[in-house]
Amino acid sequence: MRFSEKNVLITGAAGGIGSTLVERFRAEGARVAVADRDVSGIDAEAHLPGDLLDPGYADGLAPAAREALGGLDILVNNAGVITRGPVTETSDADWSLSFGVNVEAPFRICRAAIPLMAEAGGGAIVNVSSCWGGKAPGPNHALYCTTKAAIASMTQCMGTDHAHQGIRVNAVCPNEVNTPMLRSGFAKRGFDPDTAVAALGSTVPLGRLAEPEDIRDVIMFLASEDARYMCGALVEVNGGKAVA
Ligand code: NAD
């Protein structure tokens, strides 16, 4: 019960990694506020549906979670979108969507959450970046990598700037994870997702792709007291398959 009495806000709570986070934080004693476009059917202490592209919604999420839960100790900025292709195939709409969800929304949520956490004596924020961008860019995903580099850099800045307030800000940088984000990409390109996941898994030194739980457990470690001396870290979780 590492998180008993802790109040946690999780974005992207309906997704592959997000849903495992919600279930496990609650199993370990936390009260959880879930944020996603559709949160119906998710067991949680507070439901905060909305679109992260709406600045008012993103600005209001942290205060709404504090109000609903009675406090805010932990924030996981997990929601994300992926756009594929080189810069020359990237539209203005791709730019707005990717920066809006992957960078601007976590910026807005952190900007509101940090003063609330500081007032309460501290807290922990975990951002979900990626090996692609957080550590080194991968091929043919220029915009996605750029946004993940931005959130990685913002994590390092906030990790330094807010440590004195007892707020630890860190990021996890996964390589490929077997979630709807990855599987829908295979399906769109005409591949059978199961076959493609197995094939890609065989390129990983550990012999398989990450499951959402493999990433969840590192996020929860960073959110927990076990990571009490970690601030601004970018933690790569890759099964031995580094991108650079
Ligand atoms: P997912 O697609 O299963 O979940 C992402 C969630 O974010 C979805 O539930 C979606 O509804 C939500 N979301 C997206 N846009 C939103 C918006 N405008 N407003 C509100 N919610 C919105 O993907 P996942 O793999 O679980 O991704 C979680 C995080 O992990 C993302 O930040 C992603 O970039 C990162 N990541 C994933 C992989 C991978 O291979 N799956 C690898 C590295 C990093």
Q: Which residues pair with 123 in a beta bridge?
A: 167
β-strands 123-128, 74-77 pairing? parallel
> Does 135 have pLDDT greater than 90?
no
Residue 9 main-chain phi, psi, to 5 deg:
-110, 130
Is 127's pLDDT higher than 80?
Answer: yes
Question: What's the CA-to-centroid distance between 114 and ligand 1, angstroms?
Answer: 23
> In this structure, which topology does domain 7-175+212-237 adopt according to CATH?
Rossmann fold (3.40.50)
Helix (H) or strand (E) holding 75, with range, is strand 74-77
At 244 the pLDDT is 61
Is 181 within 8 Å of 15 (Cβ atoms)? yes
Give, using CA atoms, the residue closest to atom 34 of ligand 1. Answer: 80
Mean pLDDT of the chain: 96
Cβ–ligand 1 contact at 81 (below 6 Å)? yes
Helix (H, G, I), strand (E, B) or coil at 141: strand
Residues 6+ apart with CB under 8 A from 210: 174, 175, 176, 177, 178, 237, 238, 239
115 sits in the region (left: phi over 0; alpha: psi -120 to 50; else beta) called alpha
Catalytic residue among 109, 129, 144, 172: 144
Residue 70 — pLDDT band, cuts 50, 70, 90?
A: very high
Ligand 1 contact via 146 beta carbon (within 6 Å): no
The amino acid that residue 178 corresponds to is N
Percentage above 70 pLDDT, the chain: 100
pLDDT attached to residue 105: 99
In the structure, what pLDDT confidence band is assigned to residue 243 with cuts at 50, 70 and 90?
confident
Is residue 175 within 8 Å of residue 135, measured between CB atoms?
Answer: no
Find the largest Cα–Cα distance for the chain: 51
The pLDDT tens digits of the residues spanning 148-192 come to: 999 999 999 999 999 999 999 999 999 999 999 999 989 988 999
**Residue-wise DSSP of 148-170:** HHHHHHHHHHHHHHTGGGTEEEE
Indicate the top mutation candidate among 17, 75, 216, 219 to test ligand 1's pocket, ranked by most ligand atoms within 8 A of CB: 17
Measured CA distances, 76 to 62, 104, 135, 186, 198 (Å): 11, 15, 20, 27, 29
Secondary element (H or E) of residue 65: helix 55-69
pLDDT of residue 115: 98
> Domain locations in the chain?
7-175+212-237, 176-209
Closest C-alpha among 125, 115, 219 to residue 169: 125
Summarised one tens digit per residue, pLDDT across range 47-57 is: 999 999 999 99
The backbone region for 217, taken as left when phi is positive above 0, alpha when psi lies in -120 to 50, beta otherwise, is alpha
Confidence at residue 133, expressed as pLDDT on a 0 to 100 scale? 86
| Residue 229 falls in the annotated catalytic set | no
Assembly ipTM? 0.99
* 144 close to 132: Cβ distance less than 8 angstroms: yes
